[in-house]
């Protein structure tokens, strides 16, 4: 499994359902919500199938499919707190049962450009889970899991 962590990263998540529209999404489709988070991890995995034959000395495998998801730790902000409104985006969004645009710049830099050293990842996601622990210190962390739906795009050209 590959894990891409964002330090001083930017990420955007769409608020409206994009349905089955594929593509490398832009800021218009996935507005930035990164100022309300402190950690984003893009996880990429491969599913393999065993192709070993009787008598092989070692197991052999072939790549079957790819799977990706995103783990986000954000801060809970209620609807009246102003943008980015994490309660509306994540908590209410979980109940929408919609597919949304996702964009992620793990190296930070400009959220309108991507380069070889500062790539942009984008794709379609479904909000899979949201965990809100009790308030114990004044700031309530919000843990979110986004399930990738379809292809994950990696863009290294200016948009």
13-49 pLDDT, tens digit per residue, is 766 555 555 555 565 666 666 655 667 888 999 888 9
Distance from C-alpha of 91 to C-alpha of 106, rounded to nearest angstrom: 24
Q: What is the pLDDT of residue 159?
A: 47
Phi/psi of residue 55, each to 5°?
95, -10
Q: What is the CA radius of gyration of the chain?
A: 18
CA angle, 150 as apex, 148 and 151 as ends, to 5°? Answer: 100
Q: Give the tens place of pLDDT for each residue, 58-102.
A: 988 898 888 999 888 877 765 555 555 666 667 666 666 678 888
d(CA 98, CA 127): 8
The C-alpha atoms of residue 32 and residue 16 are separated, in whole angstroms, by 14
Q: What are phi and psi of 24, to 5 degrees?
A: -90, 110
- Read off the pLDDT of residues 118-155 as tens digits, 9 standing for 90 and up: 788 888 888 888 887 777 777 777 788 889 988 888 88
The torsion angle over the Cα atoms of residues 2, 158, 118 and 4, rounded to 10 degrees, is -20
Nearest to 30 by CA among 48, 21, 39: 21
CB-CB neighbours of 24 under 10 Å: 19
pLDDT reported for residue 154: 85
- pLDDT of the residue at 22: 54
Does the pTM exceed 0.95? no
- Using the Cα atoms of residue 67, residue 147, residue 20 and residue 35 in order, give the sign of their dihedral: negative
Higher pLDDT, 103 or 145: 145
CATH fold of 2-155: Pnp Oxidase; Chain A (2.30.110)
Token pair listed for 85: 């409104």
Structure-token pair, residue 159: 């948009």
């Amino acid at each position: 499994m590959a894990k891409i962590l964002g330090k001083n990263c930017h990420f955007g998540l769409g608020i409206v359902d994009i349905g089955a529209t594929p593509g490398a999404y832009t800021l218009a489709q996935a507005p930035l919500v990164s100022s309300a988070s402190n950690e984003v991890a893009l996880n990429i995995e491969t599913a393999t199938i065993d192709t070993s034959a009787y008598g092989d000395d070692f197991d052999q495998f072939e790549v079957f499919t790819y799977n990706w998801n995103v783990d986000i730790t954000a801060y809970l902000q209620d609807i009246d707190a102003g943008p980015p409104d994490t309660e509306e985006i994540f908590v209410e969004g979980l109940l929408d049962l919609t597919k949304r645009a996702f964009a992620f710049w793990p190296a930070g830099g400009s959220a309108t450009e991507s380069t070889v050293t500062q790539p942009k990842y984008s794709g379609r996601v479904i909000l899979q889970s949201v965990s809100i622990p009790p308030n114990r210190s004044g700031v309530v962390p919000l843990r979110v899991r986004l399930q990738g739906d379809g292809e994950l795009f990696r863009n290294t050209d200016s948009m």
